[in-house]
Amino acid sequence: MSKNRLIFLPLGGAGEIGMNCYVYGYGPEDKERLIVVDLGVTFPEMDTTPGVDLIMADVAWLMARKDRIEAIFITHAHEDHIGALGHLWPKLKSKIYARRFTATIGRLKFEEFGHPKDAITVVEARPQVIEAGPFKVQFVAMAHSIPESSALIIDSPAGRVVHSGDFKLDETPVVGEGWNPELYRQI
């Protein structure tokens, strides 16, 4: 009998700026059902990577398990979180969830690449819940420098993970929704 486990695998973005791509999985070892959070890019340094336009996470591990991917969630519309979506989605071909502003940016990218715009589903912030295999995911408003930036509440049978995305603790930002400390205490 296989024991279920919760995994977290950063393919990019952890310990660096840009190229955000994270994988959460739940289930028996090597059979986990997966969700992907963000598909971003980073921009090269002219001194170290001349002639390179964009750098993306290596998704070979995900491609080998694409039949286990339940969904892709995009936290916000900055390029380091959504910039690789048009490039990498054909390799993963999973449903995408994002809030309205982010989904609009994603659909523009899909239009540029000739991908079906209906692969991106617009969702509302909490309390809406998206069920993706063993996961229940909610978008939660998070203050940042772009509209509708979100953290994610990722509930699984193993417990709750709060994936912050990018944030600032600003209750009255110039752009987007403010930080709500009471909401995060509840979460």
**Tens of pLDDT, residues 89-101:** 999 999 999 999 9
Close Cβ partners of 174 (under 8 Å, ≥ 6 residues apart): none
Give long-range contacts, CB 8 A cutoff, 24+ apart: 118-122. Answer: 119/89, 119/93, 119/95, 120/96, 121/95, 121/96, 121/97, 122/98
The predicted model gives 122-146 an average pLDDT of 94
pLDDT of residue 29: 95
CA 39 to chain centre: 6
pTM over cut 0.85? yes
pLDDT at 181: 83
Per-residue model confidence as pLDDT tens digits over 142-162: 888 888 999 999 999 999 999
Cα gap 56→40, rounded to integer Å: 7
Closest residue by Cα to residue 16 from 51, 49, 56: 56
Residue 53's pLDDT is 74
Check whether 1 has a pLDDT greater than 60: no
Among 181, 156, 182, smallest CA distance to 167 is for 181
